[in-house]
């Protein structure tokens, strides 16, 4: 899979001679709605003998100019991995800046979709918007496609349990700690990348060695509490429990993310890891003594072992 704007400079993009089918959108979190769009894109590309390309943004547009920043729920690297697994031939991470934001709808359709990308087919969702101020939608894109020589296929929203799947819904689930519901709409559990650093060694003092994690600061962090988690370290998956909070039992005031891995030995300070949140076990509690905290952690471990028993590590 070719990744433009990451592995390859934008300038190295060459229009495929046999034409290209382009999936347009932000694809934030690559949820089940996005998955259906990409599957349709790849199916149509195969039927027509075209290459399939995902066209998205290097940064969330609202995080470039918006007053209210949007927290991330997926890295670009992970997004590309999933797109490749779904069968896309390439992904183009467009650089979003002021000049690009001022592009009107017709210029976008003519100069970017048709001339730059070489699209003969585009696939979008019903809520897709484009052009300056998001003025364009699927209907306008369809009219412009007829004018400049590309077709437009519009994919209906996907609903699960009566709810329309969206990136906003995914963020809400994480913010509320409902991480066990996340896979129902995303197709996979929620994961956060981070780096292991030296911590306060509080867990070690009561017999539970933990890894202190500094998550990517722009990511959505679940609310304080204890979670059953899976941690990917250098390609190996480890079961464990993760605490998010301030360790009130020890009078701490700084929020931290600490993971206790059941079977891991050795140090991995400095490692970049991914923590997958499977289920919230409880909220954060202040215990009267370290001994009572230790007893509760043993119960948390037992709950996590049961919940994670279906995962092979």
Per-residue model confidence (pLDDT) at position 250: 46
Residue in the block written with tokens 């300056």: 132
The two tokens of residue 263 are 């079977």
Domains in the chain, start-ordered, CATH in brackets? Answer: 17-160 (3.40.50.620), 190-310 (2.40.30.30)
Q: pTM (2 decimals)?
A: 0.89
- 140 φ, ψ (degrees, to nearest 5): -65, -40
> Distance between CA 135 and CA 13 in Å, rounded?
27
59-110 per-position pLDDT tens digit: 888 877 766 789 999 999 999 999 999 999 999 999 988 899 999 999 999 9
Q: Are residues 282 and 303 in contact, defined by beta-carbon separation less than 8 angstroms?
A: no
End-to-end distance of the chain based on CA atoms, in angstroms?
Answer: 28
């Amino acid at each position: 899979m070719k990744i433009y704007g990451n592995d390859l400079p934008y300038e190295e993009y060459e229009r495929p001679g046999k034409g290209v089918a382009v999936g347009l959108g932000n694809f934030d979190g690559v949820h089940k709605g996005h998955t259906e769009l990409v599957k349709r894109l790849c199916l149509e590309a195969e039927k027509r003998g075209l290459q399939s390309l995902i066209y998205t943004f290097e940064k969330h547009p609202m995080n470039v100019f918006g007053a209210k920043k949007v927290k991330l729920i997926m890295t670009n690297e992970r997004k590309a991995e999933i797109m490749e697994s779904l069968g896309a031939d390439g992904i183009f991470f467009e650089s979003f800046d002021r000049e690009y934001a001022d592009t009107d709808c017709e210029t976008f359709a003519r100069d970017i979709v048709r001339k730059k990308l070489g699209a003969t087919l585009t696939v979008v969702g019903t809520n897709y918007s484009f052009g300056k101020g998001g003025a364009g939608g699927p209907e306008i894109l369809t009219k412009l496609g007829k004018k400049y020589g590309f077709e437009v296929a519009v994919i209906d929203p996907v609903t699960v349990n009566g709810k329309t799947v969206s990136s906003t819904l995914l963020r809400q689930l994480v913010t509320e700690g409902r991480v066990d519901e996340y896979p129902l709409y995303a197709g996979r559990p929620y994961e956060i990348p981070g780096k292991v650093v030296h911590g306060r060694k509080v867990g070690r003092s009561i017999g539970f060695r933990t890894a202190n994690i500094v998550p990517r600061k722009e990511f959505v962090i679940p609310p304080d509490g204890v979670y059953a988690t899976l941690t990917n370290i250098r390609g190996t998956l480890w079961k464990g429990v993760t605490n998010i909070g301030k360790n009130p039992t020890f009078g701490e005031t700084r929020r931290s993310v600490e993971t206790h891995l059941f079977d891991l030995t050795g140090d991995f300070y400095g490692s970049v890891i991914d923590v997958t949140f499977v289920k919230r076990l409880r909220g954060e509690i202040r215990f009267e003594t370290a001994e009572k905290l230790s007893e509760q952690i043993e119960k948390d471990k037992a709950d996590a072992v049961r919940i994670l028993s279906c995962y092979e590590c």
